[in-house]
Amino acid sequence: DVKVTQSSRYLVKRTGEKVFLECVQDMDHENMFWYRQDPGLGLRLIYFSYDVKMKEKGDIPEGYSVSREKKERFSLILESASTNQTSMYLCASSLAGSLAEAFFGQGTRLTVV
Amino acid sequence: AQKITQTQPGMFVQEKEAVTLDCTYDTSDPSYGLFWYKQPSSGEMIFLIYQGSYDQQNATEGRYSLNFQKARKSANLVISASQLGDSAMYFCASHSGNTPLVFGKGTRLSVIA
C-alpha cells in the first residue's frame, strides 16, 4: 500500500526554536512537496523537490527551508519558529512527469507558543 | 500560473440526496489534470477522482463523478446518495506536466440526517 509518513501528528514548540518536520515515502516517487493548510486559505505550497538535493520555492517559502538528502525523505525546517507558523503541515509525493495524483501524509498540526 | 476557484465555503445536503461542489480552473497549458480530494476531520487527504484534459468522458468513481466542462473551465464534483460519512472538506486541485498541485480554498460539506 502506498504510504507517506510524517514523523509527528501533533507538535508544540516555543517561539524561536528550530523545528524539523520529517516526511518519508515508500513509493520511490521523485517529487515531494510541503504544503501549509490554514482555514479559509486552502493548501499553499511552501517548497517542493523533483529530485535528491534539488529544491524549488513554492508560494510561501519565507521562514522555511527544506532538505532532501535521500529520495525517500523530505524535511521541512522552521529556522526560528514564530506564532504565525502555527498551522497544519502536509507532505505529499508524486511520480515525476505524469499527471497522476499526489499522495499525502496524515499531516502535522504544529502549534508555536 | 494555474488557479483554482471554489466559490462555496460551505454546503449542506440531506442524507441520500445528491450534491454538486463547484470548481473552476484557469490554466494556459493544453495538457493538465484535475483532482478532487476529501479531508475528513482527522486531517488526512484522500484522493477521490481524476480527470485529464484530453479525456473525452467524465470521470466516475463509485458515487463520485466529475462534471467536466472544458469550454467553461469547470470541474464540478457530484456526490450521489450522500452519506453521513461524506461530511468533510473537499478540495479541487490541478496540475500540468511536472508542476505541483494547486489547490482551491475548499468547500466544507455537511450531510444532515
Per-residue pLDDT tens digits for A43-72: 999 999 999 989 999 999 999 999 999 999
Q: Is the pLDDT of residue B105 over 90?
A: yes
Contacts of A79 by beta carbon, 8 Å cutoff, 6+ apart: A18, A63, A64, A65
How large is the average pLDDT for residues A62-84?
97
Residues composing chain B: 113
What pLDDT was estimated at residue B79? 98
Q: What is the CA radius of gyration of chain A?
A: 13
Residue carrying C-alpha cell 532538505: A67
For residue B1, what pLDDT band results from cuts at 50, 70 and 90? Answer: confident
Per-residue pLDDT, A44: 95
Is residue A95 scored above 90 in pLDDT?
Answer: no
Q: How far is B104 from chain A (nearest CA, A)?
A: 6
Question: What pLDDT was estimated at residue A1?
Answer: 67
Q: Which residues of A touch B (CB under 8 A)?
A: 31, 33, 35, 40-45, 48, 50, 58, 88, 90, 92, 94, 96-97, 99-107, 109
Q: How many angstroms separate the CA atoms of B23 and B107, rounded?
A: 10
Query: Rounded to whole angstroms, what are the CA distances from A96 to A51, A87, B99?
Result: 9, 28, 9
Q: What is the pairing mode between strands A108-112 and A10-13?
A: parallel
pLDDT at position B97 over 80: no
